[in-house]
Chains A and B, each alone.
Chain A
Amino acid sequence: MVRRVAKPVSIVLTICMLLLSLPHKSAFAGMIGTETVLDATRGQEARDYLNRIFARADVRASLIAQGIDPLEAKARVASLSDAEIVSLADQIEELPAGGSALGIIVGALLIVFIVLLITDILGYTDIFPFVKKHSEVK
């Protein structure tokens, strides 16, 4: 008896679980939902954001002052994964004094952050846990 009931029930349950685990679809046929867009664009937007920061004259000047080639630094940052880039962009955006508005004065904090980040990537410092060190011993 239990077996006879168990089989159809388990089939129904399996289908329910499958439906639950399907990827998120937009509520309307033919349309790409905002959530999908948000997920898809996040990495790229963070990359663009960082590139704009590297294009700033004050950032470049302070990197050069530290003996770091801005081009090399940019290349190193480009090699980070999407998740790492996003985490990085978030940290810069959350800096006080409106760090996200590139137009207004961000001041010394951003510079310090960028310099530490670059030196982290180059392996001189170890401030940011998400930065993978290239010289890391496996």
Chain B
Amino acid sequence: MRRIIITLLVLILNLMFAGCGGVFFRQWPQHSEHLPVSHELDSVPFYPQEAYQCGPASLSMALTWSGIQTNPETITPEVFTPSRKGSLQSAMIGATRRHGRLAYPITGPDSIFEEVSAGHPVIVLQNLGLSWYPVWHYAVVVGYDLHKSTVILHSGVTPRKRLSFRVFYNTWARSDYWGLLVLSPSRLPAMATKHNYISAVLGLEKAHQWRAAIEGYKTALARWPGSLSARMGLGNSYYALGDLESAEAAFREATRRFPTDGMAFNNLAQVLWEQGKQQEALEAAGRAVDLDGPLVEEYRKTLKGIQAGKP
């Protein structure tokens, strides 16, 4: 009888802790040789949170750090969902963009200290509970110490709270290492990849933050001058602002660098046409159609539109 009870208890314990995040300790952080031994940002303000308001508080800290004057009270209606008593990640990203800031998500545990040592605070989502009893919490990582194995966070009502790597890693792993950089579009994340960065700038376009998007695409082009997407995005953002001359310049540069790509010629044609440069527009649109490609139907429409007359 006793054996059966023990077996059952072991089974229950196993079930309780099954799937509770990554199992520390797989030598984290990896590749830390090139990192400063410790780093702490002193330029990130601290806003203590009220009940359930860790999302607005964390976002306010990051936005204020990035140069946007704000506070948790003004941010709360933008991100907080009362029925869920919390803030969804998508709302955090959306609010960041609405303030003209670049929302760069971090996925995976490996780049967080690179960002902090480059001077960027990182909003992280932790599950302070267990996988089957989640207690979701946003905090802002503002420092770390490799010697003492601690992460320093602005968290809840505690500024500069120190957590051991083990606790931090385990609570963060339960959100699949969700993290967010809130950056001025003139800054590049320390570990930026081209596609992720341009996707983040595209988010600014979606939020109709054209000026911020322009800035972001320029930042992208300084780093990846060969990116057609960034150059087209730059032209499209100028176009959306009504700055046709700058849009034309961007698309012209795109056609110069990518003379075999119809997309650049198509947009150049449209912009020329809207400036009344009919002949040049016809040439560009014809070129796009000649170059062919999966979007050739779009190019034909543009060409027909120009041939038909008025913009």
Using a CB–CB cutoff of 8 Å, the interface residues on chain A facing chain B are 26-38, 40-42, 45, 48, 86, 90, 93-94, 96-97, 100, 109
Contacts and interface: CB of A to CB of B under 8 A. Distances in A.
Given A28-B239, A32-B263, A100-B194, A94 B228 contact: no
B191 A94 contact: yes
Nearest to B295: A32
B302 interface: yes
A37 B232 contact: yes
Among A34, A42, A97, residue most surrounded by chain B Cβ atoms (within 10 Å): A34
A35 B236 CA distance: 11
> Which bracket fits the contact residues of B?
35 or more
Contacts of A33: 236
A94 B236 contact: no
B298 A32 contact: yes
B278 interface: no
Contacts of B294: 40
A94 B229 contact: no
A100 B193 contact: yes
**What DSSP secondary structure best describes chain B's contact surface?**
helix
Among A28, A32, A48, A94, residue most surrounded by chain B Cβ atoms (within 10 Å): A32
B227 interface: yes
A28 B266 CA distance: 13
A38 B229 CA distance: 5
Contacts of B236: 26, 31, 33-34
B225 to A, nearest CB: 12
B223 to A, nearest CB: 8
Interface of B: 31, 34, 110-111, 114, 191, 193-195, 198-199, 202, 205, 226-229, 232-233, 236-237, 239-240, 263, 266-267, 269-270, 273, 294-295, 298, 301-302, 305
Contact of B193 (A28, A37, A93): A93
Contact of B239 (A31, A36, A40): A31
Given A38-B195, A38-B202, A96-B31, 10 more contacts: A28-B239, A28-B240, A30-B270, A30-B305, A31-B267, A34-B237, A38-B198, A41-B228, A45-B228, A86-B195
A96 B228 contact: no
A89 B304 CA distance: 39
27 contacts: A27-B240, A29-B305, A30-B269, A30-B301, A32-B263, A32-B267, A32-B295, A33-B236, A34-B202, A34-B232, A34-B233, A36-B263, A36-B295, A38-B233, A40-B295, A41-B228, A41-B229, A45-B228, A45-B229, A93-B194, A94-B191, A94-B193, A96-B34, A96-B110, A96-B114, A97-B31, A109-B31
B202 A35 contact: yes
Given A40-B294, A90-B195, A32 B266 contact: yes
A31 B205 CA distance: 14
Contacts of B34: 96-97
Contact of A38 (B111, B199, B273): B199
Among B110, B202, B229, residue most surrounded by chain A Cβ atoms (within 10 Å): B229
A56 to B, nearest CB: 17
A59 B114 CA distance: 26
B177 to A, nearest CB: 13
Contacts of B110: 94, 96
A36 B227 CA distance: 14
Contact of B233 (A37, A86, A90, A93): A37
Contacts of A96: 31, 34, 110-111, 114, 191
